[in-house]
Each structure stands twice: as structure tokens, then as C-alpha cells.
Structure 1
Amino acid sequence: MRPPPPSPPEDLEERTLREEIHRLREENRRLQARNDRLSGLLAISKFWSAEKDFNILLSMITQETCRVLGADRGSIFLLDPERRVLWSTVSKDLDRVIEFDAGKGIAGYVVQSGKVYRSDDVYQDPRFNREIDQETGYRTRNMICAPLRTMKGAMLGTFQVLNKGTGNFTAEDEEIFLALSAQAAVAIENAMFYRELTSTRDRLTRELRARFGFQEIVGASPLMQDLLSMARRVCDSSVNILITGESGTGKDLLARTIHHNSNRAQHPYIPINCAALPETLLEAELFGIERGVATGVDRREGKLELAHRGTLFLDEIGDMSLAVQAKVLRVLQDREVTRVGGKSPLTVDVRIIAATNRDLEAEIAAGRFRRDLYYRLNVVHLHIPPLRRRPEDIPILIDRIYRRVCKREKKSLRGFTAKAREALCHHPWPGNVRELENEIERAVALADPNGFIDVGDLSFLAPPRSNRHHHAGSLPEVVEGVEREMIREALVKTKGNKSQAARLLGISREGLRKKMKRLAIEG
């Protein structure tokens, strides 16, 4: 039988061309499928990265990976480095936690080696840990297990998928699984970090609420009961609050308490003393400043920005200049702040709590305070009564302050004598709670260990100095002498704290600074 005649050269070239076209089409389909797969993996990783709930994320990772690879089940085992165990947080269709030694089974091998591991028949694999199947009642046939590492290379645990729907897992499955495991590790690390931050934030919020709870404010008297009742009612409101009261009554404590018991408690509480800074510095502190406004000045956020979604406490608001008052009013009206030297306003969500020991209506009449700002701040008015108007609270305050000071100073005393306690309860306390605190701190410091605090330890019962009311000289000289003596005594009482001394004297810190300079008082 004769062989067929050879094909013409053009037929051979045509067949070769067709084969090449077919090969290129197949290669293009393969590349397109790979590109689609990679695009899908990218979309999955973005989806995972957006999820912050830890348990939901782990469930998403296992379910989506099983879907992509056609696996029946997935498990994530996290490493406890201190106990050296692996434990399962999520297993598909499994609620209970599984825990085993970090060196045991295929997962343990992956942790130790740091390499991906694929097994086509696990019951023939000496590394397989059959105890898990026995515990769960599940029958594993084949699996891929990959390490989960942090961005810095630390071992988080392992990720495994079990039982391919048809046949065994392939090298291509392994490649996809490694890519998904790497993205899963990043998402898990971020979720763990977020969970830790949230836990820390919640713990600190609880601690602050305990420290600044309303129960920490002594209020047995009817006046204080009414005040605290109103304060509780306005906690979760966003309205501005004006707190008034004499120096030393605890306006700052009430402001903090309102914030830490409000729905803004997880956001900043930013206090600023308006009397402690000159006008130009106060403006920069409140509104912030842009870089280059002056030589050597860097960009800085202001207190209003820092307090976004939280509370700004404006202490001594009555000492604020009219120019700064106008800018604060604009912020309250527009809810926008512009830094000094800036052009673009920034939106802020801030609750303002202001405090003063001045009569703002008298300040308005004198032209020193803006009426429109007063009404913006005075949406809710809380007035703290002076200590002399709530004598029921004094014994409670004495005991609470005494215990706190003794604990802080690690000093063991036997308490107050009856006469000392009576003297403390009947003293008028012009400096209010702050003066009472200073008096008890002084008495505890001077008292003999294991002894009683007696009337001789109380400064307001000490014999008056012979020259206190017998100054010689002209009236200005006598006034200067009295001022000098009162300032020095206030500084001694407050251990050199100028802000506290100023409050005790009923003047601003800036006013105290000027008087000290004029009277040549060091400190």
C-alpha cells in the first residue's frame, strides 16, 4: 500500500499557523483566568481589610477561602506564644474551641517550619493529628496548611483548608491559598490591634467614669443634690454649659464629671485656663497656628481641633479678652475654626463647658463681656454653691480628703480630735473645697505619726502675727504690705502653685503674676 502523498508546503504552514493560534488562545484564556482570579483575590483582601470585628473577620476568611478553593471546611489556629499552644477561634460549622500543643500535628509542623504543607491523604501522613477528627467527628481526607505571619515576620498561627470537593488540592490551589493566607494574616493582625485598642479605650473609659463618677462629688446638701440632678440630665446633650461659682468650689471637677459620663466620653476632654495666657498666646492655643506665621513657628493644632467630637473646658472664661471672645463666638455659630495664619476653615464638633467665678452679667454691663457669647454659653447654667452654704457636706469632705491624703502620703494617723473636727466644720472656708483640701494636706504633713490632728495643727487657728493689723506708713504702703503678706501666705498654702494661689486670692493667674512682679515677690 502506497503512503499518502506529502502535503503541499502551504498546507503544512497553514496547519502550523492554526496550531499556534490555538495555543495562543489557550494561553490567553489561561492568563485571563489567572488575571480574573488575582482580581478576585484583591477584592477579597480589600473586603477583609475593611472588617474590624475580630470574630466576624475570621469567619469571613474561612468561608470565602473555602468557596474559592472548593474546600469543605477551613480553620484558623492562633498561636499563644506564652503557653505554646494553638487554639481554634473559628471552625466552619464548629462552635467550640480546639486547643493543642504548638508542635503537634500538621499545624504544629507548619508553625515550627514556617512552610506551607499539602497532604493528599492525611491518614497516611505521619504528621497528621487524628485527635482533632476524633473530637469533632469530622473525617479529613486532604488539606493545605499555611503559616500566618505578621508584617514583621512574627508567627500568628496557621490557616488550613480541608477536603477538596473533587480530587486533591493542586499546586495551583496551593499558590492561591498562599496568596489568600498572606492577605488574611494582614487583616487578622490589624483586627487584633484594633481589638486591643478598643479594649484599652473601653477600660480607660470605665476607669475615668469610676474616677469622675457623680458619686465622687460630695453632695449631701439639698443645694448640691439639685445641682447634680440637673448635671446628670444634661450629660448626653450637646448643649453648651456655663458653670459658675466662687474659686475653689470644684467647677473643673464638675466639668470633667459631665464629660466622662456623657456620650462623648470616648473622645477628648481638653481643658484650657483663659486667665493663664496672654491674649496672643491664648488665641494660638485655642485656634491653632499655621507654619511660618512667625520665625521658627511650626504648624500646631488648637484646642478646638483637639477636642473634636469631645469637650472643650474654658476655665476662667470671664478673663478672656473681647477680641478672643468674638472669635470663639464665630466658632460656636459656624462650627468651624480657622488657624492663626490659615485660610481654610476646619469643621469641628465640640461641646463647650465654660466656667467662671465672675458675675458675667455685671461684666456685660461694664462692657467687658459679650452679651451674644454669654447667651451662646449659658444654654444650661450650673451654679456651685460655696461651702459655707452647704455645711452638711463639710464632714463628708473632711473624711474623704483626709483618707485620700493619708493614702497618698503613706501616713498613718488616728484622725482628728473632737475640737479640731468641730473647728473644721464651723470655719467659713472662703477658699471653699480647695482651701479645705490645702488645710487638711498641711495638717496631715505636720501631724506626728500615729497621732491625732489637733487644733494647733490648723493654720486658721494659729495666733495672728503682731504686725498683721498694725502696719505703719501711708495708705498705699499699708495696702502693699497687706497684699504682699496675703500673696506669700497663699503661695505657702498652695506649695508655690500660682494657679491655685490665684484662685485662693480670687484673682486671675495673670493678675497674680503682675502683682508679684510689682511687689518684688520671688517664685
Structure 2
Amino acid sequence: MRNGVNIHLKDWASQFEWILSMIDVGVHMVDHEGVTVYYNETMANIDGLDRAQVLGLNVFELFPSLTSETSTLHLVLQTGERIADKLQTYVNMQGKQITSINSTYPLYEGDVMVGAVEIAKDISNVMSMYDQILDLNKQLTVSKQRNKSSVGTADYHFGDMIGQDPAFLKAVSIAKKAARSPSPVLIYGSTGTGKELVAQSIHNASSRRNQPFIAQNCAAVPKELMEALLFGTNRGAFTGSIDRQGIFEQANGGTLFFDELNNLDLSLQAKLLRVLQDGKIRRIGGMTEQKVDVRIIAAMNIPPQEALDKGILRSDLFFRLNVVHIELPSLVERLSDIPLLVDHCIERCNELFGTHVRGIRDAALQRLMRFKWPGSIRELMHAIESAFNIMEPGYDLLEEHHLPDFLFEPQPEVVAPLARLKPALHPISDIGLPSMLDQFERDVILSVFEQCAGNISQTAQALGLKRQALQYKLNKHGITK
């Protein structure tokens, strides 16, 4: 009794059943003979069945396509051992193909196994997307092979990279040199700085320009499918699997671009490292390895040191990829490039909208120059496109009132007038331009850091950097309180 209320086990059982009916994963429970004793609504939706059809039926009656070797519930009942994160494709009673990730556990009463429970997450839509990605990549590869005059599947070139900022020009210079070699490249830059544009430009300037360029965002595919996407599958690798190439095979001879590398599962990072070292892959379910000739370009939107410190990036993979390191400045670090970028955006929007806008008013440009641009160049391009959408007929210049509302929200004040900071004038021949740029960056950061009395958050805000990015640069330049 608690607070005068008698609590009975059966009352809790009804509460647990209600909880299981509300969660967004499927739950299928069977007794020791494989007969269904519980089946929640989510599992019914996954399988396309009615709960009333399922209760009291054996697993093999429900899913005729399963066998004693492929049914995870049956295997757990036979072995008493759990099966975790099993990818399974099957056909239900209505003939619908389902792909799910299942974890199956034995149920015990004391020392006696009384049944099993399976927890399933439906990924049929994701699997369909995975198939479409591989099919589209294959079509691009076949199309390229048929058209020998093709310039590959990358759209951007170095001529599309616009700016005069010294740090930006340094990054472009390194990228152009990297195009001459087959070495791996690691690009770091915040969201919207143009990391894939750099990767495509390197590919198109390299000897691989007529071979495939395939980009894969490591955060876009569940880890359970990523391995199959990377390396392909052999028939029988898992229930419903077929012989299919992965993107390593599809990119053979060309370039693979891994965006948001820090989101790649650590176990797959180890396998990626092995491919980088050996140049060989093995399909899931395959017995033999095959050589692949693929150049790897990877990108991250957080500082590599931060990813290493957090344990989300393997140090051995980092050192293997970081042969060529390119760091892209954010837009707030290259505000002087905004006029050039705006002119480019206007030209692009004129083509898109069929308009003849000549430029932008000074007041509107100054409004753009004062913004912090957390989304960097991509956000600036979207702002210009937004302005084109609301421009009234007859205007041939972008006015301040055409700009999106978020540009008029209050912005934190910059502590130091960065535009007035000048680099120490040393002869370039003495130290070289790259070293001069590094020294200038250090001088600017140190100046603001001292004005902020060593407060990292205030310094990051003043410089328009994320705190983690500033911490990385402080470590890089050896700046401490």
C-alpha cells in the first residue's frame, strides 16, 4: 500500500501495455512455441496488419517468407541468445515488403525461457532511399562511360570560387595544389562555407576529372545501412539482400567526398581507414576483396581537434586523411568579400528569375555587411534569393526593404574594430605568404583576446566565431590566458 492506495501487479501490467502501445518502435512478443502473445500498434503499422489478425498466430503463419534460419524470433527461441541490430527484409501476409532493424531478446521466468520479444524499427523508406541513391549513382557512372567527352559528375570548378580575402585565397591555393596529387584531403569549415564546392573543384582540376565524383553525407544515412552503402552487398548477406555495388565501386577511378565525417560510426571509420591503407574493399557477405582506385576527400563542420577530444573521430583516421589540410574561413571572417559574393548572387538570380537587376543599394549592402552570417555563404545566397522573390516589378536595384526580416534583428556589438587591424609588415620573401597570413590571424585573435580580458565567449562573439572554433585556433597559435 502507498498513500492509502493498493497497487496490484495487474494494474501495473495494464500501464506497461499502454506504454508499449504509445512508443514509436514495434514490439512483438511470442511464447516458447513462437505463438504471438503481444503485438503493439506500431508493429501492426509496420507489418500492415491488424492486431486482431496476429494474436494467437505462429511467426511462420504471419510471415510465410521466413524460415527457421531467417526468423530472428525463432533463432532466439532455439539458442536463448539475443540478436542485436539485425537488418531484415521480409514479406508480410499482404505481400508487402518490409525492411526493419530488429533486436530480439529471450524472456525468462526464473531459469526457464518462456518466450522472446522483438523490437523493430521500420526503415523501409530509408532502404528505398538507399536503393535510389545507389541506382542513381550507377546511372551516372554508366552515362559517363558511354560519353567519353563528359567532364564527370562534379559541377563546380575553381572559377566558381569567389573572393579576395587572404585566408580564403590561401585555402584556394592549397586546394589547387592538392588537385595535382592523389593524396587524401581533409577540409574544415563551418556550415555553408563551401566545402563541397572545394571538393568538386579539386576533382575537376585533377586527372580524375572524367571519372565519377560521388558525395555522401555521413549524417544522412543510418549507421546500419551505411556499411552496405559504402561497400555493397552480396546476395544472402542478410535477409532480402541482393548483389549490389557500393559507392566505393561506383566511384572507382574517381573521387569520393565524405561530408560531416565526424558523424560516421567509429566502427566504419576503422573500415574506411583500412580502405585508405590497402585500397581494397569487401562487400557485405562477400568472401573476396577487390581493388578500388578512389581518391578520398573528407569534410568536417567542427574543428578536428574538437572531434578528436570528444572521441567521435579516430585519431589514426584523422592522421591518414589530414595529408592535405584546407581550412575555409566563415563569411564573418571575410566580410570584405560580401560585395563580390552579392554581385555573383545577383547574376545567378537574374538567370533564375529572368530579371535584369543591376546591383544593390549602399544601405542594403551595409545591412548585409553588419550581419554575423551563422550560415555563412549559403545563408547569404538564400537571403539574396529571398529578396528577389519579394521585389516589386520595375526595380532594378536591390533595396534595403527587400531584404529578409532576420537581417534587421539586433546583433551583438563587435568589441574590436577588426577592419582597422593591420598585419605587421615583414618582407614576404623572408617568411612567405602562408606564414604571414598565419601570423596575421594570430595577431588579430591575440588583440581581441586581450581586449576581452581572456574571456573566450566574448572573444568568439567579437570575432564572429563559434566558441569551439576559437578554442581550436587558440590552441593552434599557442595563445593562453
Q: TM-score, normalised by structure 1?
A: 0.49
Between the two proteins, the alignment pairs up a number of residues equal to 268
Report Cα offsets for 1:418-468 as digits up to 9, x if no partner: 211221133221110000011011110111123142222222456669xxx
Cα distance, 1:215–1:308 mapped onto 2, change above 3 Å: same
User: Which one of the candidate residues 277, 292, 296 is aligned to 1:352?
Assistant: 296
Equivalent position of 1:188 in the other structure: none
| Kept after mapping to 2: 8 A contact 1:411/1:449 | no
Bigger radius of gyration among the two: 1
Cα distance, 1:419–1:234 mapped onto 2, change above 3 Å: same
Equivalent position of 2:207 in the other structure: 263
Work out whether 1:330 is the aligned partner of 2:274.
yes
Equivalent position of 2:67 in the other structure: none
| Kept after mapping to 1: 8 A contact 2:371/2:407 | no
- Percent sequence identity is 38
| CA distance in structure 2 between the partners assigned to 1:281 and 1:380 by the alignment | 29
Cα distance, 1:197–1:282 mapped onto 2, change above 3 Å: closer
User: Which one of the candidate residues 272, 282, 289 is aligned to 2:226?
Assistant: 282
Cα distance, 1:463–1:334 mapped onto 2, change above 3 Å: closer
Structure with more helix by fraction:
1
| CA distance in structure 2 between the partners assigned to 1:246 and 1:326 by the alignment | 25
Aligned partner letter, 1:274: C
| CA distance in structure 1 between the partners assigned to 2:211 and 2:279 by the alignment | 17
User: Which one of the candidate residues 330, 350, 356 is aligned to 1:386?
Assistant: 330
Cα distance, 1:330–1:435 mapped onto 2, change above 3 Å: same
Report Cα offsets for 1:407-426 as digits up to 9, x if no partner: 11223335322211221133
Report Cα offsets for 1:192-223 as digits up to 9, x if no partner: xxxx9999433x32x988x5331210131111
Aligned partner letter, 1:449: P
Equivalent position of 1:248 in the other structure: 192
Cα distance, 1:327–1:410 mapped onto 2, change above 3 Å: same
User: Which one of the candidate residues 160, 165, 172 is aligned to 1:216?
Assistant: 160
| Kept after mapping to 2: 8 A contact 1:420/1:455 | yes
Work out whether 1:454 is the aligned partner of 2:399.
yes
SS of the aligned residue for 1:389 comes to helix
Q: Which moved more, 1:403-412 or 1:330-339?
A: 403-412
Equivalent position of 1:16 in the other structure: none
| CA distance in structure 2 between the partners assigned to 1:278 and 1:342 by the alignment | 21
User: Which one of the candidate residues 180, 188, 191 is aligned to 1:236?
Assistant: 180
| CA distance in structure 2 between the partners assigned to 1:197 and 1:275 by the alignment | 28
For 1:64-463, list aligned pairs within 5 A. 200-202=147-149, 204-205=150-151, 212-451=156-395, 452-460=397-405
| CA distance in structure 1 between the partners assigned to 2:296 and 2:263 by the alignment | 16
Q: TM-score, normalised by structure 2?
A: 0.53
| CA distance in structure 2 between the partners assigned to 1:214 and 1:382 by the alignment | 14
SS of the aligned residue for 1:283 comes to helix
* CA deviation after TM superposition for structure 1 residue 384, in Å: 0.4
| Kept after mapping to 2: 8 A contact 1:455/1:461 | no
Structure 2 segments unaligned to the other structure (5+ residues):
1-142, 411-465, 467-481
| Kept after mapping to 2: 8 A contact 1:414/1:450 | no
After TM superposition, which residue ranges in structure 1, 4 or more long, deviate above 4 angstroms? 196-200, 460-465
SS of the aligned residue for 1:341 comes to coil
Cα distance, 1:371–1:198 mapped onto 2, change above 3 Å: closer
| Kept after mapping to 2: 8 A contact 1:443/1:457 | yes
SS of the aligned residue for 1:312 comes to strand
* CA deviation after TM superposition for structure 1 residue 305, in Å: 1.0
SS of the aligned residue for 1:397 comes to helix
| Kept after mapping to 2: 8 A contact 1:274/1:315 | yes
